[in-house]
Amino acid sequence: MSWKALTLKNITYIASAAAILGVFLFLFIEIVDELREKELVRFDERVINYVQAFISPRLTEFMQVITFLGSVNWLAFAVIIAAVLLFIFKKRSLALFMVISSGVGALFNILLKWIFKRERPDIRPLIEEQGFSFPSGHSMGSFIFYGSLAYMIVHLAKKRRWKTAWVLLLGFFIVSIGLSRIYLGVHFPSDVIAGFAAGGVWLTIMILGFRYYEFRKNL
């Protein structure tokens, strides 16, 4: 790397990304510590009881639709479609960014689940799910995929209002998917938060890698 080519803008960007990475990593580590000390039980139970107090047939149907938007099948399909479109519009580096971030992120989630082996909650589950609970794959996968989309829109869009609108909409999707997992009784709230944190760590690393690639390419 040619350090002379670094501008104040680039340095500020790297510093901000490093700070965000640190926050996500700190949050995940804190949750893991609390999990090992079994101090999350009260928090998880209170949040689950509060969220499930709103259970109704219509809301359950809506939450099942929302949770599908964070499922492996949907995200895999969406990643393929997004990558194909990016290749068609000659945005090959962004297409690879999308595929690698979501694909490797999914493998990372499987590894984390295998390491922690936390069983799913048994407090009024509304649907059946298999596998371990921590961290939430839906939450982590949606954070990575929809976060990647938000980053690409910010990277490509010219009008600030469109950037803001799409980032807010995709952020709403991410939060809603995490909430749906708690509502449906298949994840503890701490699973969801940890999924967001782990997804944030991986996505930030991927964005930094992509920015480094772009920087090197433009030297």
> Which residues are identified as catalytic?
138, 187
Report how far residue 49's alpha carbon sits from residue 88's, in angstroms, rounded to the nearest whole number: 47
Report how far residue 194's alpha carbon sits from residue 108's, in angstroms, rounded to the nearest whole number: 13
Q: Write out the DSSP string of 49-64.
A: HHHHTT--HHHHHHHH
The answer to whether the CB of 185 falls within 8 A of the CB of 125 is yes
Three-class secondary structure of residue 134 per DSSP:
coil
- Sign of the CA dihedral running 162, 105, 195, 127: positive
Burial class (CB in 10 A: 0-12, 13-18, 19+), 148: buried
What's the token pair of residue 125? 């589950």
Q: Which among 177, 145, 193 is positioned nearest to 29, based on CA atoms?
A: 193
